[in-house]
Amino acid sequence: MDENLRPLIPVEVVNRKTGKSVGQLVLVDSGADFCIFRAEVGEILGLNIKSGHKREFAGISGESSICYVHNLEIIVGNVHYPIPVTFSYDIRDDGYGIVGQVGFFDQFKITFDYSKKHVVLRTK
């Protein structure tokens, strides 16, 4: 967790088709439906972002945005997990990637320990 008690963890997002990967500090967000990153992250991985399955999402502001789903891998610790990842051009440059319910919370039992300022992940 950072000094503002945001549950941030390091992960690596992997595209096996291109052999490319990128490390990211992500927000563990129990209120997020799915995992989402800035489109530029997907481009670094060699993806044609708009070739993914198109869907709409809304953030806390309620404004609708577009994202594109791609099946990739995420590395947490030293373990690889298959995961559907969405990418959007509507995320601010300084915004964190988010890991949410589908693809992340469904693979882990997650404990937020605010008194110790850390997040504990255990595989299910």
Calpha distance 8→18 (Å, rounded):
27
Calpha distance 12→38 (Å, rounded):
14
What is the chain's pLDDT, residue by residue, as a tens digit (124 residues)? 556 678 899 999 999 999 999 999 999 999 899 999 999 999 999 999 999 999 998 776 778 889 999 999 999 989 899 999 999 998 888 888 999 999 999 998 998 888 888 888 888 8
Residue 114 has a pLDDT of: 83
Tokens, residue 47: 């993806």
Q: pTM for the full model?
A: 0.88
Calpha distance 12→6 (Å, rounded):
19
Which runs of consecutive H residues, i.e. helices, occur in the chain?
39-44
Residue 2 has a pLDDT of: 54
Sole residue written with tokens 């051009």: 89
Contact 59, 88 (CB under 8 A): no
Q: In the chain, what are the domains?
A: 8-123 (2.40.70.10)
